[in-house]
Amino acid sequence: MEIAIIGGGAAGCFAAANLSSFIHGHTITVYEAGKRALAKVAITGGGRCNLTNSFLNISSLESAYPRGARLMKRLFYDFNHNDAYNWFEAAGVPLLTQSDQCVFPVSQDAMEIVGTLLKIMHTNGVVLKTSHRLTRISKANKEDHGYSLQFSNGYNTSADIVLVATGGSPRIEGLSMLSPLGLSLVSPVPSLFSLCLAPHSLKDMAGTVVEDAVVGLCSTKIKASGPLLITHWGLSGPAILKLSSYSARLLNDLGYNAKISINWFGHSNEKEVSGMLYEMAIRNPQKQLQNIYPECFNSKLWRFLLEQCKMRPEMRWGEMGSKGFSRMAAIMTNDIYNVNAKNKSKEEFVTCGGVSLDNISAKTMECRNHRGLFFAGEVLDIDAITGGFNLQAAWTTGYVAAKAIADYALM
């Protein structure tokens, strides 16, 4: 039996590694559009590969997977983050869990993950063909058995079973190879990106990090928390990347022109911050505002925030009145900025959208209307926040698809 896996990324190669362990005597071929497999895995996490997460800081799967949480919950019964952790360690890759609950190889080298998957595939006889970009997939014959595959390099072949794991496409045209199948598609839009701000002196603080901030999209209930990085173009860091994920479609609809709010004190509300500032004044009545500030800020950012509040830096804390405390607390917990674009950079790895989950069986990852056709990874309308969750979706969907394909091939 001929089994074709379209896409040599995380989901495709993980599926191939597992499938080749589950069954023998069948030809498994991975077709990768690029010059080498797992290229994206090799550079993820700054080349260290944040391959999963402990999920200890995740209150619900919806908070990790803005799209696809319901499916991921079902699939986690078969293969979850603990299974992924154990799988890679059993394959000879020691892992460590950081304080932020992100999981990395002990070596801090993404190439260890790449090498492990490719070695298993090679050992198990998986054929890897690079520079093979799929341009069309269609039913092989009227009896509904098998699929015809056409590639941009002129190579044509067929397969009895096909797993599509081509990754995310930034444009709907990138899914045109699926057109003959009549699938329901969700128009892709970018996710996980930093935000560009309209001209503002905040950008003079480039390089400054606030470890615990809350950012929100104004006029919505969408919020995200975590470290916030000020850049020369605007804002980045985990808090912003999460916000971009939660609001990916809305920001796209707005043309990336929106207002965002920043609570520089994290989850502390206006009343709590006012009380904190009042206590600071009681302890330091003769000190200038610019010289005494919360530990979460540096002096440069604190002076900037004082300017935002229209407070004189040389004023003494003892001169502050109740209105001053209230004004500072109100602004610092709801500081508004104008977004005028998303930043186009290498960190924009993820798209939301793709093949609609309505097409897919939640138990097997098989297409409901096309027997023997399976899907895995980011080609589906599944995406996650930063922190190893997207790779976990690749491992999970790839594993479940591989197990189902093995069962199908042995029927």
For 258-315, the pLDDT digits (tens) are 999 999 999 999 999 999 999 999 999 999 999 999 999 999 999 999 999 999 999 9
Place 143 in a pLDDT band, splitting at 50, 70 and 90: low
Give 214-225 pLDDT, tens digit per residue: 999 999 999 999
Judged against a pLDDT cut of 50, whether residue 337 lies above it is answered with: yes
pLDDT for res 174 = 93
3-state secondary structure of 50: coil
Pick the range with the lowest mean pLDDT from 126-135, 272-281, 344-353, 398-407: 344-353
Query: pLDDT tens-digit profile of 74-116?
Result: 999 999 999 999 999 999 999 999 999 999 999 999 999 999 9
Coil/strand/helix, residue 294? coil
**Side-chain half-sphere exposure of 23, counting CA atoms within 13 A:** 21
The residues, any chain, with a CB within 8 Å of residue 119's CB and separated by 6 or more, are none
Residue 347 pLDDT more than 50? no
Rounded CA gap, 31 and 311, in Å?
62
pLDDT value for 284: 97
Cα separation, 312 vs 148, whole angstroms? 72
Task: Look at the alpha carbons of 267, 272, 273, 277 in this order and tell me if their dihedral is positive or negative.
Answer: negative
Is the pLDDT confidence value at 158 over 50?
yes
**CA nearest 183: which of 249, 137, 133, 135?**
137
Task: Please spell the DSSP secondary structure of 179-196, one letter per residue.
Answer: GGGT--EEEEEEES--EE
Mean pLDDT computed over 30-34: 98
The residue with tokens 């996980």 is 192
Write phi, then psi, for 175 (nearest 5 degrees): -110, 15
pLDDT (0 to 100) of residue 145: 73
Confidence at residue 117, expressed as pLDDT on a 0 to 100 scale: 98
| Distance (Å, whole) CA 39 – CA 255 | 30
pLDDT tens, residue by residue, 299-333: 999 999 999 999 999 999 999 999 999 999 999 99
Number of H-type helices and E-type strands within the chain = 12, 19
Do 197 and 203 contact (CB within 8 A), yes or no?
Answer: yes
* Residue bearing the bigger pLDDT, 163 or 144: 163
At 78, is the secondary structure helix, strand, or coil? coil
In whole angstroms, what is the distance from residue 91 CA to residue 99 CA?
Answer: 24
Percent of the chain with pLDDT over 90: 95
Buried b (16+ CB within 10 A) or exposed e, 94-113: ebeeeeebbbbbeeebbebb
144 pLDDT higher than 70:
no
